[in-house]
A and B are shown apart, each in its own frame.
Chain A
């Protein structure tokens, strides 16, 4: 017991921040990736994590099996609605780089944000009738699904488009995908209150 007390005393002299660092380095790789698995619906934070270190980059990009995006209709090219406090919006221009980086995805889920209108008064996505997702593998085992008709979205209630790549199985050799285009047919002009962003939980 005396020895334990001495070691406690020694530990007290070590600065807290240094100790915290030590503790984190003891978090095993397995435990770190478990934290990342909680970020599957937040690709934005995940990608930031990938910039933390080389090791983290490989965890994030190679071990992430599922991703969930919240997608807003893009009123202008390369632009998405401002993010809300609750979630990030992903613009279609960001998709190809995401699909290139996450090399072991088994499934993705795309949710349409009903921003900025909670109720269709007027619904910003009223005229979206179809979403096309085109996946193309980079070898002969191309996995392609075309023309995902998600139906009329005028009463958007958490509309989800989910497509498990290769029916949930990992594609071999190399399981890399890119997105040729994710198109939202939207004839409406951008909503006027776009700058306010979206505060709704999609």
Chain B
């Protein structure tokens, strides 16, 4: 089975190699082969792949297709984390438990770096995984909550294009909002 673990270059780049990808949970389960933008091949169980609305509609158009599904906008690293999320999610489909689901979701984002979260957002969006997109957006919002403007800028890598006068004016207009900032 092809997986990221076979590619030493990629493994060096991924901080937490997703060993789960290589783990077979059920031998009989139908696998779907997906190819990422950086030419990594992922074989995922059909039930997991159907969590990706984009992939699901691909198979609705061609139900008997055994072709590799290309994912041109999806790099391997965030994709392996997205798979990790979806594997957790499908457990709750059979066994809905909102409290446990929330806990699992917050556990998932807790151990992710800012970079991880940000890389996953476009992937979740492209694959149309609404729940994940929601969880990621919330996680990013939580991480910038009550932080300084400078922190938010560096978090998102955005250059300040206000003149110092313009910025001072904005800050003055909403002075209360710039008090009690959390430490960076």
B-contacting residues of A (Cβ < 8 Å)? 1, 4-5, 7-9, 11-12, 16-17, 19-28, 31, 34-39, 42-45, 47-57, 80, 82-83, 88, 90-91, 93-94, 97-98, 101
Size class of the contact patch on chain B? 35 or more
Nearest chain B residue, comparing its CB with the CB of A90: B176
A24-B158, A38-B141 in contact; A49/B152 too (CB < 8 A)?
Answer: yes
Distance of A7 Cα from B133 Cα, bound (Å): 28
Residue B22 interfacial (CB < 8 Å): no
In the complex the two chains form, is B174's CB within 8 Å of A47's CB? yes
Chain B residues, Cβ within 8 Å of A56: 158
Of B6-14, B53-61, B90-98, B101-109, the stretch lying at the interface with chain A is: B6-14
Distance of A56 Cα from B38 Cα, bound (Å): 31
A39-B141, A48-B178 in contact; A57/B115 too (CB < 8 A)?
Answer: no
A-B pairs with lowest CB-CB distance, top 3: A21-B157, A38-B141, A47-B177
Residue B29 interfacial (CB < 8 Å): no
Distance of A37 Cα from B137 Cα, bound (Å): 9
In addition to A23-B119, A94-B176, A97-B173, 9 A-B residue pairs with Cβ atoms within 8 Å of each other are: A5-B7, A8-B13, A12-B9, A19-B115, A24-B157, A25-B157, A27-B121, A52-B160, A53-B160
Residue B159 interfacial (CB < 8 Å): yes
In the complex the two chains form, is A35's CB within 8 Å of B149's CB? no
Residue B5 interfacial (CB < 8 Å): no
Distance of A61 Cα from B152 Cα, bound (Å): 17
In the complex the two chains form, is A53's CB within 8 Å of B137's CB? no
Q: List 8 A-B contacts (CB under 8 A).
A: A20-B118, A20-B157, A24-B156, A27-B118, A38-B138, A39-B141, A53-B162, A101-B174
In the complex the two chains form, is A52's CB within 8 Å of B146's CB? no
Chain A residues, Cβ within 8 Å of B12: 12
In the complex the two chains form, is B176's CB within 8 Å of A52's CB? no
Chain B residues, Cβ within 8 Å of A45: 141, 144-147
In the complex the two chains form, is A8's CB within 8 Å of B176's CB? no
Nearest chain A residue, comparing its CB with the CB of B8: A5
Distance (whole angstroms) from the CB of A55 to the closest CB of chain B: 8
Within 8 A of A (CB), among B130-156: 133, 137-138, 140-141, 144-149, 152-153, 156
Nearest chain A residue, comparing its CB with the CB of B152: A52
In the complex the two chains form, is B121's CB within 8 Å of A31's CB? yes
Chain A residues, Cβ within 8 Å of B177: 43-44, 47-48, 94
Chain B residues, Cβ within 8 Å of A91: 176
Chain A residues, Cβ within 8 Å of B68: none
In the complex the two chains form, is B122's CB within 8 Å of A27's CB? yes
Chain B residues, Cβ within 8 Å of A98: 174
Chain B residues, Cβ within 8 Å of A22: 157
Distance (whole angstroms) from the CB of A63 to the closest CB of chain B: 14
In the complex the two chains form, is B156's CB within 8 Å of A12's CB? no
Distance of A22 Cα from B141 Cα, bound (Å): 19
Distance (whole angstroms) from the CB of A84 to the closest CB of chain B: 10
In the complex the two chains form, is B137's CB within 8 Å of A24's CB? no
Distance of A56 Cα from B147 Cα, bound (Å): 16
Chain A residues, Cβ within 8 Å of B157: 17, 20-25
A35 interface neighbour in B122, B137, B148, B180, Cβ under 8 Å: B137
Distance of A4 Cα from B9 Cα, bound (Å): 10
